[in-house]
Structures are given as C-alpha cells and as structure tokens.
Amino acid sequence: MATKRAVPLGAHNGSGVVAGDVTTKMTSQDVLANSFSRYKEGYETIEKSEFGQLFRKLFHYVLFPLSVLVLMPNLVMLLWYAMSKCGGSYSHLLSRFYDRSVIDVLLEVWSSVPICSPFSIGVIGGYFAWALFWMKVLPGRRVEGPITPNGNIPLYKDNGFLHYTVTMVGFTVLTAILKYFDMSPSIVYDRLGELLATMIIFSIFFCFFLYLKGLYAPSSTDCGKSGYFIFDYYWGTELYPRVFGIDIKVFTNCRFGMTVWPLLVCCYAIKSYELWGLVDSMFVSTVLQLVYITKFFIWEAGYMQSLDIILDRAGFYICWGCLCYLPALYPATSFFLVEHPVVLGNFWASIMFGFGIGSIAINYLADAQRQMVRGANGECLVWGRKPEIIRAKYRLESGEIKESILLASGWWGLSRHFHYVPEILLAFWWSVPALFTYMMPYTYVIFLTILLIHRSYRDDHKCGKKYGEFWHEYRRRVPHRIVPYLF
C-alpha cells in the first residue's frame, strides 16, 4: 500500500509495563522494535510459508473484495424482495430457489423493478440537490478531525444537526403539501425496489469516479493505491476526498445514509398509519430509531474521529455501503412492521421503549466520556473520580511525536468497547416490537453484532500498530474486549 502510517512509540520500564501518564525516556530504536515486534507475533505464523503468504494476499486483495462487490448489490435487492414480495419471510424467499437457479431468481428480482425510472431519478436527484444545497449553505462551527498519519488535519463544518433538522422539517412540509394533492410519501414504501436498484447502479459508477479521483486528482496526500484494482475500488484510493469543497464521506455517510434512514422510517410509519391507524409496535420502533438518529447528529463531530472516517477510505465499502446498504437494511424492521403490525399494549410498549431509551443514553454517555476526557486533557472527573488515563505516544510518518489519551476507567474501564453493548441492545429494542415469529426484523441486529465484533478486532489492530506498548498496557488494565468478564 502506498499509504503511510503512524508508527508506535513504545516506552519500556524494564518490567515490560508502561505506567499511565508516563513520558517516554527511551526513544531508541530498540524501544520501537520491542514495542512493534510483539504486535507482529500473531501474523508471523501465517507468513512463515510462501504459500500462506500468497494465499493471504490473494484473499485480502482479490477474493474477499470481489465477493463483496458481487454479492452485496444482489443481497440488497434480495432483502427488499424478501420484505416486499415474500411477506417478510426468509424461508419463503429460499423456497424460490428450490426449482430455479440462483441466476434465474436474481434475474427475476432485478427485472421486477424499473431501473433508472423517471420516478427514481426524480426522487434521488431531488434529495441529492436538497442535501448538497443545505450542506453547503448551513452554518456550523469549524471542527478539526484527528491528524492523519501523513500529518494532515481534516476540517469540517459541524452543521449535521442543523441539516438533519431542516430536512425533517422539510419532510413534514412536503407531506402536508402532498396530502393537499391527495398524495403521500408512503409511495416510497410502495416503490422502494426501483429506488434501491437505481441507487445501486448509480453508486457503482460513483465509486469508480472516486477511484479515479484518488489516483489522478487527490484532495490531500492521504491517498494511494495497492496496485490491485479490485481492492482499490472496494477500499478506495483516498481518505478524505473533496469535490467542490464537499467532503464526500460526510455526504455519503451523514447527509445521505444517516439522513435517508429517518426519512424512510417516517415513510414506512405513514404507510402503516394509512393501512392500520396508530399501531403501538410501529410507534415504539419509529420513535426509538428517531431518537437514536437524533443522538447521532448531536454527536456528529465525534463520528469524525471514528474508524469509518480516520481509517476507511472513500471506496465501495463505505460509500456504496452508506448510499445503498444502509438505506436498505437499517430501517428494515420498520418496513417489516408495515405488513406485520403487532399490538403490544401499554405495558410491553413502555418496557421496550424504556429499555431502548436507556441503551441509547448509555451508548451516548460512553462516546461522550472519551471525548470529554480527551478534550479536558484528563483534567476532569469520570464517575466522580479522577480518570485513569494512559498518555499514549505515537509517531507520525514524518517522525514527529504526538500524544493521545487512552481512558481506562468509567465506561472505558469496563471493557475496551463497552459502548458496543448498548449499541446492539438499542437495535434489539427497536426490533423486538415485531416479536419473534419472523427472523427478518432481526436482520439488522444480527448484522450489527457481527460488524461490531469484527470492528473491535480491527480497532485493536489499528491501535496496537499506532500505540504499541501503550496499547498493550491498556489491554492489560482492561482485559475484556466488549462484554466485561465474558469477551
């Protein structure tokens, strides 16, 4: 890979332990080597044989990305097909494969909707214009993202919450106008298939544009290629691409994916209301999702420090994912509830709602705690006490040494990714109103659990490489990955 990385700067005190809050006395090559070599241990067994190395490369750079590129667009369409044409039942969907080949079924699915119809182009194009306009004109304080391994500091205009508010108000006004003409935004529920299909095709070309842009007109030095086209297309060639001043990842992840999600949830809720009147299961699920998304936008500047932004480049994985996969999967429980309304009664509805809100609050508090401690340079209270911190040093590619704080108490002392527990629970609480007859409404929770477990490994790997011994010290102090005492 042509990208450069921050390298760890380890501090060693003879016993192999790095004390919290230490400043590095040893800056020699041995310290660096010592710190880094431990991290490599896990990989050496695989890399021993040439065949192993070759297979690893082939898998990483070709087979895995190729499978994602081929599978994901089809899976998104199959998800929609299962939701809308198979009564929300995966077994019903599977029965379609009994007497036909996979290709035949896929052809049936894709040909069941008009791709790039005037309706889908109008809706998607209209939303793009709306989102780009407000993204550009709405004011916001200037926020700095974390320094990149190449020493660049990305700048953002923090207008996410305002953008979200304007969009939701705009949606309410549009709904009222449509009602006047005897129309409804629930048409999005009826014609979701063609919207998704059009979006999928558009996004495939858009990612190709991003691939070329990163190679020939990058916005910063945080760019490069691996030499494997498939991998570079899948992963991206640029970390922070900007076009006419528009930050592409902020647009795809936040102004599109995260904003279309609540819009879709509202369209599905309106459809349910038109069919059945007010249903408490739909109400609980909708409100929980809206509260969670509102929380996201309040915290958006914090998201600019997450893996998606600081590690994942703007390629198929993140951009296509946020343009197509997120809108199809994340609001899927709401889509399901339209055809499967459940009357919960006040007691169960309140229990689900209460636990859901509690989980959202804990997830928010955990994210905010880490940010607060870093913002205050450790000079604050965590759960009423002085925080336990590790002042972790790392080195930029230029050789410059930087310091960051790792919090080892509060939520971050329970486990290294404790905030993933409420993240999974909150998704469970907005899915469980659909009860347990079908698996479909739990698709997102299942995906999220896998994603977050995998992400905890990715993050460990990333932080180990960045902080070396300091990260080992954190792992020693906080030995569990996600669930305290269990995992």
Ligand X SMILES: NC(=O)C1=CN([C@@H]2O[C@H](COP(=O)(O)OP(=O)(O)OC[C@H]3O[C@@H](n4cnc5c(N)ncnc54)[C@H](OP(=O)(O)O)[C@@H]3O)[C@@H](O)[C@H]2O)C=CC1
Ligand Y SMILES: CC(C)CCC[C@@H](C)[C@H]1CC[C@H]2C3=CC=C4C[C@@H](O)CC[C@]4(C)[C@H]3CC[C@]12C
Query: Is residue 322 at the binding interface for ligand Y, with CB under 6 A as the rule?
Result: yes
Shortest CB 390 distance to ligand X, Å: 8
CA distance 240 to 237: 9
Shortest CB 105 distance to ligand Y, Å: 21
Among 395, 419, 472, 481, binds ligand X (CB under 6 A): 419
Helix (H, G, I), strand (E, B) or coil at 468: coil
Interface segment toward ligand X; rule CB under 6 A; list 103-111, 123-131, 166-174, 299-307: 299-307
71 CB burial (10 A radius; 0-12, 13-18, 19+): exposed
Query: Is residue 242 at the binding interface for ligand X, with CB under 6 A as the rule?
Result: no
324 CB burial (10 A radius; 0-12, 13-18, 19+): buried
Query: Is residue 423 at the binding interface for ligand X, with CB under 6 A as the rule?
Result: yes
> Distance of CA 74 to CAs 109, 262, 271, 390, Å?
9, 24, 26, 45
Interface segment toward ligand X; rule CB under 6 A; list 114-122, 225-233, 335-343, 447-455: 447-455
Cβ nearer to ligand X, comparing 92 with 462: 462
- For every residue of 162-217, DSSP letters joined together read HHHHHHHHHHHHHHHHHHHTT--TTHHHHTHHHHHHHHHHHHHHHHHHHHHHHHHS
Both structure tokens of 427:
């998704």
Among 324, 463, 468, 469, binds ligand X (CB under 6 A): 463
Interface segment toward ligand X; rule CB under 6 A; list 235-243, 245-253, 380-388, 418-426: 418-426
Both structure tokens of 55:
């297979």
- Whether residue 151 contacts residue 114, with contact meaning beta carbons closer than 8 Å, is answered with no
CA distance 78 to 105: 9
Residues of this chain, 251-270, that bind ligand Y according to CB under 6 A: 253, 258
> Distance of CA 118 to CAs 122, 131, 182, 206, 383, Å?
6, 20, 20, 19, 55
Shortest CB 326 distance to ligand Y, Å: 5
Among 161, 303, 348, 355, binds ligand Y (CB under 6 A): 303
Tell me which of ligand Y, ligand X, none is bound by residue 253, counting a contact when its beta carbon lies within the kind-specific cut-off of 5 to 8 angstroms.
ligand Y
Shortest CB 451 distance to ligand X, Å: 6
Shortest CB 92 distance to ligand Y, Å: 25
Both structure tokens of 439:
């698996």
Interface segment toward ligand Y; rule CB under 6 A; list 214-222, 270-278, 318-326, 382-390: 318-326
Tell me which of ligand X, ligand Y, none is bound by residue 322, counting a contact when its beta carbon lies within the kind-specific cut-off of 5 to 8 angstroms.
ligand Y
Query: Is residue 459 at the binding interface for ligand X, with CB under 6 A as the rule?
Result: yes
CA distance 137 to 142: 14
Angle (nearest 5°) at CA 219 between 214 and 221? 80
Residues of this chain, 105-164, that bind ligand X according to CB under 6 A: 146
Tell me which of ligand Y, ligand X, none is bound by residue 72, counting a contact when its beta carbon lies within the kind-specific cut-off of 5 to 8 angstroms.
ligand Y
Which secondary-structure segment (H or E) carries 118?
helix 118-137
- Whether residue 438 contacts residue 336, with contact meaning beta carbons closer than 8 Å, is answered with yes
Shortest CB 129 distance to ligand X, Å: 27
Interface residue list for ligand Y (CB under 6 A):
68, 72, 253, 258, 296, 303, 306, 308, 317-318, 320-322, 325-326
Interface residue list for ligand X (CB under 6 A):
146, 305-307, 363, 367, 370, 404, 406-407, 412, 417, 419-420, 423, 448, 451-452, 455, 459, 462-463, 466
